[in-house]
């Protein structure tokens, strides 16, 4: 009998669970796990966490303290279930503030240390704005690993590699969403999927120029996108799609494979070049701004929940 697709994928790609739900992580045994404000909100709303959230809220010095305490507590629980990285995100409110991002990132690492989780286990997630990328450059030099998220363009990816970040998360599905909205009748199946094409271009650039930055496809809309990127360094996958892959049998073809570095990378972009290239990419500009707003909206919901519990 043929192996299921998830088992085959795990032999060629590091599978990451895109969830904060502990039972899901136990079920699928991923190597890593990623969280974001939306996933932390979902985990925090589970009835079994309410008493603990209330305790955290009452003992916190302010709402930011409570937010980070919740994120690190959930992340620490996840770290006991996966052997690899756990990604924890800096507040989306700081996406355009390099110094504030540095302060918050260092604080998160210190909090994890108090939970017995070392910095080698944590990826600090930062939005791939110019300011976020510069913060990541500093953090990496300090030995703090980073995951640059909300990445929609080759320009963002280039800047991240130049900064020496540990991992980038190009958002496959959200790229597809934008193109579908622009051209609803177009055929975006398989290799025609613009999100898949974006990840492949980034992967080939990184491998072809010898960058160590890990490429982790994210934000998938269907299992076809995942199959089209089999062999990518990492793929972070939602519980629903993990389940679909686990229940599907058949042969899975490797679509991406490491390349020998053939040429020196181009000169790094400066800030003006980065901002101009990003501005020229309407999809990336719109989806980056939208992504920050959406993460912030869910963070505000969590802030409201913690505020209510603090006053109860």
- Per-residue CA distances from 289 to 88, 196, 214 (Å): 20, 21, 24
Q: Are 112 and 119 in contact, with CB atoms under 8 Å apart?
A: yes
Spatial distance between the Cα atoms of 217 and 232, rounded to a whole number of angstroms: 8
Structure tokens at 126: 């930062």
| φ, ψ of residue 14 in degrees (nearest 5) | -75, 120
- The question of whether 125 is a catalytic residue gets the answer yes
* 97-101 contact pairs (CB < 8 A, 24+): 97/131, 98/131, 98/132, 98/134, 98/135, 98/138, 99/135, 101/126, 101/131, 101/132, 101/135
Query: Diameter of the chain by CA atoms?
Result: 62
Spatial distance between the Cα atoms of 309 and 51, rounded to a whole number of angstroms: 9
Q: Is 71 helix (H, G, I), strand (E, B) or coil?
A: helix
Q: Are 263 and 204 in contact, with CB atoms under 8 Å apart?
A: no
Check 10, 125, 287, 294 and give the catalytic one. Answer: 125
Active site (catalytic) residues? 125
């Amino acid at each position: 009998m043929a192996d299921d697709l998830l088992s085959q994928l795990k032999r060629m790609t590091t599978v990451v669970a895109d969830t904060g739900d502990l039972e899901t992580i136990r079920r699928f045994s991923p190597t890593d796990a990623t969280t974001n404000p939306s996933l932390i909100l979902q985990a925090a709303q589970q009835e079994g966490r309410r008493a603990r959230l209330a305790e955290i809220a009452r003992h916190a010095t302010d709402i930011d303290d409570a937010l980070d305490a919740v994120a690190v507590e959930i992340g620490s629980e996840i770290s006991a279930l996966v052997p690899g990285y756990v990604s924890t995100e800096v507040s989306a409110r700081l996406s355009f503030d390099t110094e504030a991002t540095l302060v918050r990132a260092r604080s998160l690492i210190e909090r994890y240390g108090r939970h017995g989780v070392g910095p080698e286990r944590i990826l600090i997630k930062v939005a791939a704005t110019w300011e976020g990328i510069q913060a990541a450059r500093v953090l990496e030099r300090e030995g703090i690993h980073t995951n640059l998220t909300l990445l929609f363009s080759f320009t963002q990816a280039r800047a991240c590699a130049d900064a020496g970040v540990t991992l980038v998360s190009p958002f496959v599905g959200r790229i597809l969403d934008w193109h579908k909205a622009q051209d609803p009748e177009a055929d975006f199946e398989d290799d025609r999927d613009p999100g898949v094409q974006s990840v492949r271009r980034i992967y080939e650039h990184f491998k072809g120029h010898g960058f160590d930055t890990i490429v982790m496809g994210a934000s998938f809309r269907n299992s076809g996108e995942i199959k089209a990127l089999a062999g990518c360094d990492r793929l972070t996958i939602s519980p629903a799609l993990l389940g679909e892959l686990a229940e599907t049998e058949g042969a899975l073809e490797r679509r991406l494979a490491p390349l020998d570095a053939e040429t020196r990378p181009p000169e790094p972009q400066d800030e003006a070049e980065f901002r101009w290239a990003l501005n020229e990419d309407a999809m990336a500009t719109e989806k980056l701004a939208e992504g920050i707003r959406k993460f912030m909206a869910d963070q505000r919901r969590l802030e409201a929940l913690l505020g209510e519990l603090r006053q109860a």
